[in-house]
Chain A
Amino acid sequence: MAQPQATQKQEALAARLAVLRLPTSGGWLSLARGLAETRLKGMGLPGRRDEYWRWTNPAVLIAPEPGPAQPYDARDEVPAFDAIDRVKLVFTDGVFHAAASDDPALAGVEVSRLAEASARDVHWAHELYGVLEAAGQKPVERPLAALNSAYATEGVLIRVTAKAEKPVHLIYNHESEVSDAILHHCVKVEEGAELTLLESGPAAARCNMVLEVLVADGASFHHVRTQGRDHDRQAVTHLFARLGEGCRFKSFTLTANGVMTRNEAVVELLGDDAVAHLAGAAMGDGDFHQDDTVFVTHDAERCESRQVFKKVLRNGAVGVFQGKILVKPGAQKTDGYQISQSLLLDEDSQFLAKPELEIYADDVSCSHGSTSGAIDDTALFYLRSRGVPERAAQSLLVLAFLAEALEEIEDEAIAEDIRSRLEGWLNRRMG
C-alpha cells in the first residue's frame, strides 16, 4: 500500500539529514540555520506527487548521495567570461579555493565568505540570510532551499555600496566525481549602487545553490550565469530577489548539458517603478532534464517584469517551464510579460509548460505565451539556397530562436561570451 505523502516526505528528509551535519557556526548564522531547519522539518522533502514537481522528478536532488558525475573535460575551450575584466572567486567542489581566487578588493564592494561570517560582523546579512528564502516558501513550498539555508557551509556575502567597477565572478569547479555541494550567497545592492554578478561552472557532481539578492531603491543588479557542461551533474538552484523602488534587475542563465537541472527564481517587486527581467537559454541533447520554475510577484505600481525562457532540445531531452506572474491588489499599471518556447530538433524531445497569470489589480497589462516548434524548413531552405551549409544554417536558426533571451544580457562583451559558448555547443553537437 502506498504511504501517505507526508510520511514519504519526512522519510526522505530523515534519510537526507542522516548524511548531513548542521554547521556549528554560532552567532546569528546559527540562529538563521536553526530557523531554516525548522522550516524544512515542517515541510519534508519534495516528492513526485507534489504539484510543483509534477514534471520534474526530484529523486536525484533529494537522495542522500549524489549520482556520480565525471567532471567535463573542457580541453582547449576558453573558460567562461575569460575576456572580461572581473574579480574571480573560485570554489572547487563547493569549497572556497583561496589560492585560485583574486583578492576581492573592489571599491564599493565588500565580500565575505559565509564560512567566516559569524566571526566577522556582517550585520547586513542578518536581515537577508534565509529571510528571502523563508518569504519565498509561500505560497509554494521550496524545501530544498530551506535545506540549503540550514546546511550550507560555503558561499559569499556581497554588499555593494557604489557602482562596482568590475563584475564579480563566482567560478564553480568540479573535480570529484561524487562531490555534493551546498552553496548559499547573499547579495545586497544598496541604494543607487550597481553590480554585475557572473557565475559559471557545475560546482560539483550535485549542487544545491541559493542566491538571495536584495536590490535597494534605484540600484541595479545584473546577473549572468552558465551552469557548466558536465553531462551527469545534477543541480537545484534558487534565486530569491526582492526589489526596491526604481531598481533594475536582470538575470540570465545558460544551461547546456547536465542530467538534471531545476532552476527556481522567486522575484518580488516591492517598490514602484522597478524592472525585473529573467531569461534563460537551455541546450539539451539526450539525457537532459532542465526545469525553469519562476514566480514573479508584483506588489507595487508601474513595475515591469519579463520572463523569456528558450529551450533547444534533441534526442529525448526534456524541458520544463513553470512560470507565474502574480499581480497583487493595488499593483496598478503593472507591465508583465512571459514567454516560454522550445525548439524541438526531433520528435523524441519534449517540452512541458505551465504559464500562469494571477491578477488582482484592474489596470494592468500582462501577456504570456508558450510555444513548441521545429526548425522552420522554409527558412532552412532559404539559407541553404544562398550557399550556407545545412548544419551552419541550422545553427543560425537555433541562435535566432534564442536571440530574444540573449538580448536580456545587457553587456555586449558578456553576451558575446555566451553566444560563442552556444556556437561551440552547436558545432560540437550538430556539426
Chain B
Amino acid sequence: MLQIKNLHVKLEEEDKQILKGVDLVVEPGKVHAIMGPNGSGKSTLSYVLSGRGGYEVTEGSATLDGADLLEMEPEARAAAGLFLAFQYPVEIPGVGNMTFLRTAVNAQRKARGQEEMSAGEFLKVIREKAKTLKIDAEMLKRPVNVGFSGGEKKRNEILQMAMLEPTMCILDETDSGLDVDAMKLVAEGVNALRSPDRGFLVITHYQRLLDHIKPDVVHIMSDGRIIKTGGPELALEVENNGYADILAEAV
C-alpha cells in the first residue's frame, strides 16, 4: 500500500514550492488515476516517490507497505516494489536494452535475497513478454531507448514493468505519443499485471487510456494538491468540460 501524507516538496536549487500538501492512499489491487492541468505537479510527485534528486521534501511522508520511501535510495525503492514508467523515457547510448534489464532484474532479486535469473531463463521470459507488446528482438538488442520512436519508448517502459513485476506501478502519461493500437497493447500489458496485491497510479490527461485501464478512483491535482477525488465519472467530467468547473469549485 502506498500512503502519502501531507507531502510538501520544493526545488532544491530554488525557493519554489511545487507540491503543497498531497494526501493519497493507493491500496493493493486498486487503480488510481491522477489528472490535472499541465504544471500541477503530477510528474514531480512521481519523481519524488521514486527518488530523483533535485527536490527537497519540506513536510509530510510517503511510505510503501509501511517502509519510509523518502529515506531510501532509488534502487532500494525499486527493490521494495516501486516502479515508475517515465513520462520521458531516457536514452542511454552504449547500454544494451537486454543487458540493462537483466542487470536490473537480477539486482532487484539480489536485494530481496532471491536467486538470480539465469541468462537462458531471462531470455525466454523477455522474449515472451516482448512479443505480447509487439517489441521485436532487434529492439531488445539496441541501446536503451536509442532510436526508439515515442511509442516504442513507452512500450519499452511497460516491458520493463512486466519484467520487474513491481507491487506499486506509477505510469506517468504512458499514453502520450501512442497510436490507437499501441495504446491497446499497452493497456493490455498493464491489465495483464493487475492483481490483488499490485496497485497502480496512472497519470494521464485523457479518458481514452482509462477506457482501457479502468480506474477505481480518480484524483484531480492542481497547483501541488489533490483538489478532488471521485469515481471513474470524474474523468469523464474532465473529458467533457475541462478543469474550469472543478478548479472554480475547489477555491
Contacts and interface: CB of A to CB of B under 8 A. Distances in A.
**Are A and B bound to each other?**
yes
Contact of A387 (B53, B79, B92): B79
A392 B90 contact: no
Contacts, number: 83
A381 B94 contact: no
Nearest to A404: B94
Interface of A: 376-379, 381-390, 392-393, 396-397, 399-404
B94 A399 contact: yes
Given A378-B90, A379-B92, A400-B94, A392 B103 contact: yes
A387 B53 CA distance: 16
Q: Which of A377, A388, A399, A404 has the largest number of chain B CB atoms within 10 A?
A: A388
Contacts of B204: none
Contact of A403 (B89, B90, B94): B94
Interface of B: 50-53, 73-75, 77-79, 83-84, 86, 89-95, 99-101, 103-105, 107-108, 111, 143-144, 160, 164
Contacts of A379: 90-92
B76 to A, nearest CB: 9
A385 B73 contact: no
A416 to B, nearest CB: 13
Given A386-B160, A387-B104, A387-B111, A381 B75 contact: no
B78 A386 contact: yes
A141 to B, nearest CB: 38
B92 A388 contact: no
Contacts of B94: 397, 399-404
A339 B93 CA distance: 16
Nearest to B84: A385
A396 B51 contact: no
B95 A387 contact: no
B164 A387 contact: yes
Closest 7 CB pairs of A and B: A400-B94, A387-B78, A387-B108, A403-B94, A386-B104, A384-B74, A382-B90
Contacts of A387: 75, 78-79, 104-105, 107-108, 111, 164
24 contacts: A376-B92, A381-B52, A381-B53, A382-B86, A382-B144, A383-B95, A383-B100, A383-B104, A384-B51, A384-B75, A385-B50, A385-B51, A387-B75, A387-B79, A387-B108, A387-B111, A389-B107, A396-B100, A396-B103, A397-B95, A400-B92, A400-B95, A401-B94, A404-B94
Contacts of B51: 381, 384-385
A404 B53 CA distance: 29
Contact of B104 (A377, A388, A399, A400): A388
A393 B74 CA distance: 12
A342 to B, nearest CB: 15
A215 to B, nearest CB: 30
A387 B86 CA distance: 15
Nearest to B99: A396
B101 to A, nearest CB: 8
Contacts of B103: 388, 392, 396
A388 B73 CA distance: 11
A120 B164 CA distance: 66
Nearest to A384: B74
Nearest to A386: B104
B73 A377 contact: no
Contacts of B75: 384-385, 387-390, 393
Nearest to B74: A384
A310 to B, nearest CB: 11
